[in-house]
Structure 1
């Protein structure tokens, strides 16, 4: 068995194992695995009760990772997240007390309920993979992923996430209600005194880091890279591609979008057992990577147009080859 097929088989086993606990949500599970491969953070948007927390917790168990869940609230302090310095009166010294952020997988539940100071503390951790307590800087464990949830319906007591922070999330995933047949299975499985919530670890963190190293060997042709650049450029200058979208966009995707599209396309290829990325791999991940990077105008909102609608037009109009 080749190294690539071994990694692909391992990822398939994790997907199958999570499916023993989480019914449906295949796209969510695939994107979380892809985010782990590409070392990217994920923003989950969905109504309560659609298994967002359960899926993340189950994924942590499947890869034998440490897991922390923090319920974000308006009165949360940065120290509640990162930890603080504790004064010892016997030695007259301050010792660091590390917070729940020191975990491989951090679930930030209802992230948009926390104030700006907490968001800025999380921003350092997401970008620099480190936390500063007093004068000391502590590296976060490897891997370190933030999986944040927000409720699209509830707006009372919430804060708008800074655009710089939203841009640091590799994916923004929309999690909807399950189909009725899947919900029937959920009801039958979970409406018990002791529902099945435990799974065995399928993969170690060392194996995950090996997969990340193998991802570097996935080939992406320059033509595919140029296609990625055209997609991103079309979100900034749509008129150059015959798209009448200028009035619907305040600004387009950042250079991070190009980087993440390239990474995710190669990760998608690995999950499918290929050692090369195709334009279709780019298209498969484009919505999840770009939807939160397009700032739509008030006119677009008034006309009921979403960033996904805009992306549909961009993907249909921008040529794969020139």
Structure 2
């Protein structure tokens, strides 16, 4: 298999991974994307929201799909380091050796989920920081290198304690998980019943941790130059809107953009990939909405492009009604002809600048409508 074929196969598996990750859960596409981006980039994420929104279930499913060693724990202010990192080996201690029994604990996990992470006390916090940043657990005078690849954390709040600032900053991806809207409750009940009845068995792995590491290497081969200037402009916009982005997070944002491109099956970033910033820039709970609004205004996201196409479609339908009511040689037909050719040029530009199949299909369909309408105008004008 050639290198190009190998990359293509790897990206296909990544698409299968995110598709299977979100399969049992209704309305949790964003959460699946955040977790996948964190894993591809070898970073950590925090999901902020009320309990019962599938946060831990998605983290566990992600680990199952990777056949990764998984660790899960709920933190309280009374959680002792030994609960996470393993108890002291009493037998070894009697023999003068300081050692922990880490089997099944955080130091042996590749993917971990820590619920209510901001309840961590100082003793746990100090150890967590080094594990997240350096992948090293400092235990007394011993340094233990840990295999942790990504930590998925959860909390029902954004921390306001200065002591937790460093921990919060280590979690590159941040996402506000909201309860499902009323229009999805019907699907939610069906999905919940299917899960409870065992319709979804433990999933078979679709990627290995070795392949995830290959994807992580591929991350740094993504061409970011097409979006660099716009990214710099966005950082300026965020600052002007009162959202300071640290130098560290500015640099880390590149990993999020590259990860988004890989998930979309590309080795070159496009404007759409800048939407990944919605998971990197927010700090306070209000920032999530503010960042999303800014990005939708500044970035030609798929949603924005489709809305633009829909506006053109409505205008064309209006022109079609006017044309069909017009008599032959009606001078207004020349104005409709002019506007339709302008719309066709605009659509062509949209289609040429996008590699999204849905957008290209919409443009193609609408262009066909315009051609038919132009032909009808020409017949009425006897041209």
Asked if these proteins are the same fold (TM beyond 0.5), I'd say: yes
Higher strand share: 1
Listed one character per residue, the Cα deviations across residues 235-280 of structure 1 (whole Å, up to 9, x for unaligned) are: 44x2xxxxxx4xxx4x711112222221111111111122211233
Given the alignment of the two structures, is residue 258 of structure 1 paired with residue 263 of structure 2, yes or no? Answer: no
Give the Cα–Cα distance (whole angstroms) in 1 for the partners of residues 81 and 23 of structure 2: 36
Contact 1:269–1:281 (8 Å) recurs in 2: yes
Alpha carbons of structure 1 residues 181 and 233: separation in structure 2 relative to 1, 3 Å? closer
Select 2:167's aligned residue among 158, 162, 165.
165
Aligned with 2:77: secondary structure?
Answer: coil
Alpha carbons of structure 1 residues 180 and 161: separation in structure 2 relative to 1, 3 Å? farther
Give the Cα–Cα distance (whole angstroms) in 1 for the partners of residues 192 and 294 of structure 2: 41
Select 1:32's aligned residue among 31, 35, 39.
35
Aligned with 1:68: secondary structure?
Answer: strand
2:126 is matched with: 120
- Counting only pairs closer than 5 Å after superposition, residues 278-293 of structure 1 correspond to structure 2 as 278-282=270-274, 284-292=275-283
Give the Cα–Cα distance (whole angstroms) in 2 for the partners of residues 126 and 204 of structure 1: 21
Number of residue equivalences: 292
Alpha carbons of structure 1 residues 310 and 13: separation in structure 2 relative to 1, 3 Å? closer
TM (normalized to structure 2)? 0.68
- Counting only pairs closer than 5 Å after superposition, residues 144-183 of structure 1 correspond to structure 2 as 144-152=149-157, 162-180=164-182, 182-183=184-185
1:301 is matched with: none
Cα deviation for residue 233 of structure 1 reads 4.2
- Counting only pairs closer than 5 Å after superposition, residues 235-246 of structure 1 correspond to structure 2 as 235-236=238-239, 238=240, 245=241
Give the Cα–Cα distance (whole angstroms) in 2 for the partners of residues 228 and 46 of structure 1: 28
Cα deviation for residue 111 of structure 1 reads 1.1
Cα deviation for residue 6 of structure 1 reads 1.5
Listed one character per residue, the Cα deviations across residues 262-300 of structure 1 (whole Å, up to 9, x for unaligned) are: 111111111112221123312x111210002xx69xxxx
Select 2:289's aligned residue among 284, 308, 316.
308
Listed one character per residue, the Cα deviations across residues 18-57 of structure 1 (whole Å, up to 9, x for unaligned) are: 2343233111111211111111100101111111111111
Contact 1:87–1:93 (8 Å) recurs in 2: no
Aligned with 1:70: secondary structure?
Answer: strand
Alpha carbons of structure 1 residues 318 and 219: separation in structure 2 relative to 1, 3 Å? closer
- Counting only pairs closer than 5 Å after superposition, residues 21-100 of structure 1 correspond to structure 2 as 21-88=24-91, 91-98=95-102, 100=105
Q: Which runs of 5+ in 1 are unaligned?
A: 239-244, 297-304
Q: Which runs of 5+ in 2 are unaligned?
A: 301-383
Listed one character per residue, the Cα deviations across residues 69-98 of structure 1 (whole Å, up to 9, x for unaligned) are: 111011112232223532326633333222
Q: Which structure is richer in relative contact order (CA contacts within 8 A, separation 6 or more)?
A: 1
Higher helix share: 2
Contact 1:268–1:281 (8 Å) recurs in 2: yes
Aligned with 1:206: secondary structure?
Answer: helix
Aligned with 1:276: secondary structure?
Answer: coil
